[in-house]
Structure 1
Amino acid sequence: MQKDDGERAMAPEALAHLFNRRANAGDVEGLVALYEPDAVLAAGRIVATGHAEIRSFYADLLARRSEFPMADELPAIRNGGLAMTFARLPNGTISVETAREQADGSWLWIIDQLKIKPAAERA
């Protein structure tokens, strides 16, 4: 398990790139560092709140999976210091997040909804 490289997302769209790089490196701490301390991550039936639960979620995920393909990053929708970010995975699944600008100008996720399946796949 590698440690957080310290690189910060200076735009909300940069979070997805950092996620991909850190996930493929097996960097659980780097993934946790993309979230505010009280952030919420929802993945199917799992809801992880705060760094400890998010860390546990990613430790489990990375133990089971080692390759994360790069997603198509879609333009963020911004409203002041808040932004909705979107990514489309190669299988068509969509990820939607809410990010907040930090005092140093960097961005962190505060809400993360992983893997929303396209309507045709939900049936």
Structure 2
Amino acid sequence: MSNPEREPAREPQDLAGLFNARANAGDVEGLVALYETDAVLAAGAVVARGHAEIRTFYTDLLSRRSDFPAAEVLEPVRNGNLAMTFARLPNGTISAEVAREQPEGGWRWVIDQLKIKPLKAG
């Protein structure tokens, strides 16, 4: 899928919804566009740095998986042009990301930690 006129995330919490829509559409380039050029994505043992490696990661992921259930978007923590974004996945894990407001407008992820196991009480 190709769409050069993709809407950017207007607020940091919009990134999770855009991720879900683009992943379910099989839009690898749309997923890559959610990240700054030199962003870092960590997913388990995989660490992807920059658009080329992030593209490779999502190309592989989308070739093996086609359904991405909607996540519960949690309130971001903001400090100026930076924000920590969070989403609770249906299996209870939490994703955490650092997003930055872009000079041309919109928000993109700078650091993405895909899954963090929830802490157990007690």
Give the TM-score taking structure 2 as reference length: 0.95
Q: What residue in structure 1 maps to residue 73 of structure 2?
A: 73
Stretches of 4+ aligned residues off by more than 6 angstroms? none
Gaps (5+ residues) in structure 1? none
Q: What residue in structure 2 maps to residue 18 of structure 1?
A: 18
Q: Say if 2:63 is the partner of 1:84.
A: no
How far residue 3 of structure 1 moved from its aligned partner, in angstroms, is 1.5
Gaps (5+ residues) in structure 2? none
Q: What residue in structure 2 maps to residue 39 of structure 1?
A: 39
Give the TM-score taking structure 1 as reference length: 0.94
How far residue 105 of structure 1 moved from its aligned partner, in angstroms, is 2.2
User: In 2, Cα distance between the equivalents of 1:68 and 1:7?
Assistant: 20
Per-residue CA deviation, residues 50-80 of structure 1 (Å, 9 max, x unaligned), is 0000000000000000000000000000000
Q: What residue in structure 2 maps to residue 117 of structure 1?
A: 117
* Alpha-carbon RMSD: 0.9
Per-residue CA deviation, residues 80-123 of structure 1 (Å, 9 max, x unaligned), is 00000000001001100000000122000000000111234xxx
User: In 1, Cα distance between the equivalents of 2:76 and 2:105?
Assistant: 16
Q: What residue in structure 2 maps to residue 6 of structure 1?
A: 6
